[in-house]
Structures are given as structure tokens and as C-alpha cells.
């Protein structure tokens, strides 16, 4: 755990930004409180630049995944800027007669803290650190959901999200405790060595398999994979739209990076014997998630619920890439990990863009929710309708957008990895998905408006939606910038897995005596200072 402190520079900048924003949010002056948005964006831009500049400097003993960590940080700060632009004027439900309660700064402080957690996942070298990063992402989002707007659906969403989040934390922590029990250390190097030694004998202890399954299930909650998706529609619908945008990005990115970190420990080689059950679980999760998300989305009339199910189905596509693993298709954008990471970046941009446009369309109360709320909006607000349509076409996977390339790489990776059935299922699901995205587009462009539109007049929001739409098309035509990052991350994963860091096997006193893990007595004497210090 000798990570160079330089490597943490982006996270330190984000946390400092969060502290400044929180202090400014306490000001009596309305203008100062309004400018918290600018400070938040500025600190994310600084973090983005810092991540680009420190790219190759840091080293962590025996565990070098800097391209992955850099991609993670760039994604967290880059898409973070988009999510902050689309939260202009948060929290909603302001009371004009109480000016001191408008434009509170803590919302952006929570957002920056959560983004720092997202950005930290790729840098973890220890299970304890991974746990802290996962919780750093989750805890601020509970508050953001519950306080983002002041009505009962938001509070209902907050309590549901919080309780199920605590449950998922307990489940993956139980998995972590078994992984620690299996390897005798929480450090990635030692756990990798333990997996390597166990897989070489062809027999993985049940402790490790149960641990891995619990970790996958706990993290599957974060990415809203079926059958752990049931909270997502309620939470997405109840939360304020900018918070929904954040939820469709931050926990998902966290979950996928965390899953990649955990599978790195196993060397992505769980194909033999009882260990087979873990990759099989991923495939089952992927197929279930795609179908549940897309089929249930067809039944929705509430746009936020529809986009919630859509985000579930996109998790399914990314799980296909994870199930394929890093080795298929070698050093091309179509290796499983590279495809998943590329898709994650693309999906984050297009979905946040769509939510930014949806935030702009205010609808009856404080947010457009029903399809009727946006019927015919293209006539009055052609610019925002166009931004939304571009993002939706990308979510469908139209050529010329980033969504098309993402799906292409996922399908290619599945074919290269010998999962032809998965590839076919992805294509079928993309076709099902087109139906409900096109219903939104059709509502905006073809139907007649039946009530005057209320919109949230905000240049920042417009800028956010425009940026999302422009990036969706830009990366769709010039994907090299993005897949250079995802590709080098996947290459780093491959080289780490093929040449695992040496050393780190922990051999306890008691195992030497008995040789059996579960049936051995706990040592009666207190461990000496020498035994406590890490081997």
C-alpha cells in the first residue's frame, strides 16, 4: 500500500472542492451560494487535467493498473461535469418566499464526494480500500435522493435506496470477509497469489467461491442487475431528475470498475471445476438483466421509469463484456473488458445527456414524467428535443453515435469469446429497446401538444444537454480518443493477469499444524508483535 500520493491528486482536488462548496453553501449571500455550481465544475475540470497529467507517474507496489485508474478518474470527472451541469438550480422545490433556503451548496458537495469515490475505485489495492471507496460513492447518493426535491416520492425513494443499499453493502462485505479468510490478507497482491496457488491445484476452496458469489451479488445491486434491479425504477422515478441522471452514472461505473477489480484477483480464470459457477452466474445475470430491463421498459408510460429500465438493460450489455473476460479478441477494442469500459463511457455520456434534456422539460409539477408531459414539445423547443432525440438514438444504437460502436464492440467480443448465443441475445434486445425509445421520440415530434409547456429556463442545463448530445455524436464518429483509453485499460488488466505480482502468500501458524482451514483451532496465545506485522 505504498501508493504514491501524487496518484491521489484528482481525488484530493475533488474533496477540497467539496469542502469549499460546502462552506460557500452556508453563505448568507445568494450570489455566493449560486456560484457553488461553478466551483464544483472548476474542481472537476482541475481533477480531469490532473488525471491526464499524472497518468503514468504513480506506482503501487506490485499492482499497477494505472491506465484503468486513469480511465476511471477521467470518466468520473468528465461525466461528473455533465451531471453537475444538468443539476443547475438543485435542489428543486425551492420556496421563493424563503430566499435563504434556495441554492443550497451541499448538494454539489455531496456530488463531488461521491465522484471522488467513483474515481478512487480504480486505484484500490486492498479490500478495505475498495469497501471505503464503494461506501464513499453510496452514502452521499442516499442523501441526494432523499433531499433532492421535497415531496413524498423523493423521500420514499430515499428510504428504499438507503435500506437496500445497506443490505447490498452487508452482502458484499460478507463476501470480502470470506475472501480475506481464504487468502489471509486483504491486500490484492496476496489474494491474487492465493487464487493463483489454489487454481493451480485445480481446486478452489468453497470459502473463496462463496465469497466471490456474495461479492458479485452485492455489487450487482449497484449496477441494478436483475434480479436485484427492483429498487431502480422506484428510486429513479422518485428522485429529482438530475439525481436520477447521477444515479444512472455513478453507482453503475462504480459497480463495473469494482467487478473488474475483484475478477482481477481471480485472474479471470474460473473455468475449471466448481469455480465455473462464478462465470456462469455472470452470464445468467447478463441475460436476465437485458431481458427484464427491456421487456419491462416496454410497459412504462413514465419516462423516468422507462429510462430506469433502460439503464438496467444497458447493465446487461456491459455484463456480457465482463462475462467474456479480457482474453478474447486480444489487443483490440473488442476484448471483453475493453468493450465493457468503452460501453460504460459511452452509456454514461448519452444517458446523462438524455436526462439533462428531460430536466429542462419541466412538465406539470417540477419534472416532466409522463409521455403526455412532453407530447409535441419539438414544436416549441426544437433545440432541446433534438438533443434528447440524439441521445435516445444513441441509446438505441443508431450508426454514427457512440451507442452503435458500444454495442458493436460488445457483440464482437461475445463472438470472439465463443459466446455466440450471448451475441444474438444482445442484438435481439437492441431491437426490443428501439421500440420504447422511439415512443419517446415519437411523443416529442409527432404528437400534438395538449397543454402549454413549462420549461426550466437555464443556460447551464441547455449547455449540459448540448454537451451530452455533441459528445455522443463526436465519439460516435471519432471513437479513437475513448477506445484508446478503454483499450489500454484492458491491456493493463491482461498484462497484470498474465504476470501476477510475486509473493504475498500468507501461511498461518495454525494451518501448518493441521492443514485444514475450517477444522483448525484458533491459536490460544495472543499473537506476538512480529506475527501482527504484515508478512
Partner 1 sequence: MQTFGNPMLYHYLALGAALFTLGLIGFMVRRNMIMIFLSTEIMFQGIAINLIAFSRYWQNADGQSFVIFILTVAAAEASLALGLVVMLFRRRQTLNVDTWSEMQG
Residues of the shown chain interacting with partner 1 in the complex, contacts defined by CB under 8 A = 127-128, 131-132, 135, 139, 142-143, 146, 152-153, 155-160, 162-163, 166-167, 169-170, 173-174, 176-178, 180-181, 184-187, 233-234, 237-238, 299-300, 302, 305, 506, 508-510, 517-523, 527, 531-532, 534-535
Q: Please say which residue, 120 or 391, places its beta carbon nearer to partner 1.
A: 120
CB of 40 to partner 1, least distance (A): 22
Closer CB to partner 1, residue 156 or residue 372?
A: 156
If DSSP codes are grouped into helix, strand and coil, which group holds residue 456? coil
- Give min distance, CB of 363 to partner 1, in A: 17
Residues paired with residue 361 on neighbouring β-strands, in sequence order? 455
User: Minimum distance from CB of 172 to partner 1 (Å)?
Assistant: 10
* Nearer residue to partner 1 within complex by CB, 61 or 398: 61
Dihedral of alpha carbons 134, 137, 143, 145, sign: negative
Give CA–CA dist 458/92, Å, rounded.
13
Q: How many CB atoms lie within 10 A of CB 525?
A: 7
Please answer whether residues 441 and 359 qualify as being in contact, where contact means their C-beta atoms are separated by less than 8 angstroms: no
Nearer to partner 1 by Cβ, of 146 and 377: the residue is 146
Rounded to a whole number of angstroms, the minimum distance from the CB of residue 186 to partner 1 is 4
Residue 350 and residue 356: Cα distance in Å, rounded? 10
Instruction: State the minimum distance, in angstroms, from the CB of residue 521 to partner 1.
Output: 6
- Return the SS3 of 535: coil
Per the DSSP assignment, residues forming a β-bridge with 370 are: 302
Q: Which is nearer to partner 1, 187 or 248 (CB)?
A: 187
CA–CA distances in Å: residue 91 to residues 37, 80, 87, 232: 12, 17, 8, 21
Burial (CB count within 10 angstroms: exposed 0-12, middle 13-18, buried 19+), residue 29: exposed
Residue 391 CB burial class (10 angstroms; 0-12, 13-18, ≥19): buried
Q: Which is nearer to partner 1, 82 or 171 (CB)?
A: 171
Are the C-beta atoms of residues 92 and 366 closer than 8 Å to each other? yes
Closest to partner 1 by CB, 169 vs 312, is 169
In degrees, rounded to 5, the angle at the alpha carbon of residue 363 between the alpha carbons of residues 359 and 368 is 50
Smallest distance from partner 1 to CB 190, Å: 9
Please say which residue, 91 or 346, places its beta carbon nearer to partner 1. Answer: 91
CB of 410 to partner 1, least distance (A): 28
- Nearest CA among 34, 23, 70, 68 for reference residue 49: 70
Q: How far is the CB of 61 from partner 1 (least distance, A)?
A: 16
Amino acid at each position: 500500500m505504498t501508493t504514491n500520493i501524487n496518484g491521489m491528486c484528482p481525488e484530493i482536488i475533488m474533496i477540497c472542492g467539496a469542502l469549499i462548496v460546502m462552506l460557500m453553501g452556508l453563505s448568507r449571500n445568494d450570489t455566493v451560494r449560486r456560484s457553488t455550481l461553478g466551483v464544483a465544475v472548476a474542481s472537476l475540470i482541475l481533477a480531469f487535467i490532473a488525471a491526464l497529467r499524472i497518468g503514468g507517474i504513480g506506482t503501487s507496489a506490485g499492482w499497477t493498473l494505472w491506465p484503468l485508474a486513469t480511465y476511471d478518474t477521467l470518466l468520473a470527472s468528465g461525466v461528473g461535469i455533465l451531471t453537475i451541469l444538468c443539476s443547475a438550480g438543485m435542489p428543486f422545490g425551492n420556496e421563493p418566499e424563503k430566499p435563504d433556503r434556495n441554492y443550497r451548496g451541499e448538494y454539489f458537495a455531496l456530488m463531488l464526494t461521491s465522484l471522488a469515490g467513483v474515481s478512487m475505485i480504480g486505484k484500490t489495492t486492498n479490500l478495505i480500500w475498495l469497501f471505503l471507496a464503494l461506501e464513499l460513492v453510496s452514502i452521499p447518493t442516499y442523501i441526494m435522493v432523499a433531499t433532492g426535491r421535497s415531496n413524498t416520492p423523493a423521500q420514499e425513494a430515499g428510504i428504499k435506496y438507503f435500506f437496500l443499499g445497506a443490505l447490498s453493502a452487508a452482502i458484499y462485505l460478507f463476501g470480502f470477509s470470506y475472501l480475506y479468510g481464504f487468502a489471509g490478507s486483504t491486500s490484492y497482491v496476496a489474494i491474487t497469489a492465493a487464487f493463483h496457488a489454489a487454481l493451480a491445484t485445480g481446486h478452489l476452496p468453497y470459502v473463496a467461491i462463496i465469497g466471490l458469489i456474495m461479492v458479485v451479488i452485492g455489487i450487482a445491486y449497484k449496477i441494478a442487475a436483475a434480479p436485484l434491479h427492483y429498487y431502480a425504477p422506484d428510486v429513479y422515478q422518485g428522485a429529482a431528475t438530475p439525481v436520477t441522471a447521477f444515479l444512472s452514472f455513478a453507482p453503475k461505473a462504480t459497480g463495473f470498475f469494482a467487478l473488474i477489480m475483484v475478477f482481477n484477483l481471480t485472474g479471470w480464470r474460473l473455468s475449471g471445476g466448481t469455480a465455473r459457477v462464478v462465470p456462469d452466474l455472470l452470464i445468467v445475470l447478463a441475460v436476465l438483466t437485458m431481458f427484464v430491463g427491456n421487456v419491462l421498459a416496454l410497459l412504462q408510460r413514465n419516462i423516468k421509469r422507462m429510462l430506469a429500465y433502460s439503464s438496467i438493460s444497458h447493465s446487461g450489455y456491459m455484463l456480457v463484456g465482463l462475462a467474456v473476460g479480457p482474453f478474447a479478441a486480444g489487443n483490440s477494442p473488442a476484448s471483453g473488458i475493453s468493450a465493457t469500459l468503452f460501453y460504460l463511457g459511452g452509456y454514461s455520456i448519452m444517458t446523462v445527456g438524455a436526462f439533462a434534456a428531460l430536466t429542462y422539460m419541466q412538465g406539470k409539477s417540477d419534472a416532466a414524467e409522463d409521455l403526455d408531459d412532453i407530447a409535441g414539445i419539438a414544436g416549441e423547443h426544437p433545440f432541446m428535443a433534438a438533443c434528447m432525440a440524439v441521445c435516445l438514438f444513441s441509446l438505441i444504437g443508431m450508426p454514427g453515435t457512440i451507442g452503435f460502436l458500444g454495442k458493436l464492440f460488445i457483440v464482437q467480443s461475445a463472438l470472439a469469446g465463443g459466446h455466440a448465443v450471448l451475441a444474438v441475445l444482445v442484438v435481439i434486445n437492441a431491437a426490443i429497446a428501439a421500440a420504447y425509445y422511439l415512443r419517446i421520440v415519437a411523443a416529442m415530434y409527432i404528437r400534438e401538444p395538449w397543454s402549454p409547456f413549462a420549461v426550466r429556463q437555464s443556460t447551464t442545463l441547455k449547455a449540459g444537454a448540448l454537451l451530452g448530445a455533441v459528445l455522443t455524436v463526436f465519439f460516435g464518429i471519432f471513437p479513437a480518443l475513448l477506445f484508446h483509453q478503454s483499450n489500454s485499460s484492458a491491456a493493463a488488466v491482461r498484462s497484470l493477469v498474465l504476470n501476477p505480482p510475486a509473493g504475498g502468500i500468507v501461511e498461518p501458524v495454525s494451518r501448518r499444524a493441521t492443514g485444514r482451514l475450517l477444522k483448525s483451532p484458533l491459536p490460544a496465545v495472543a499473537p506476538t508483535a512480529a506475527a501482527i506485522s504484515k508478512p
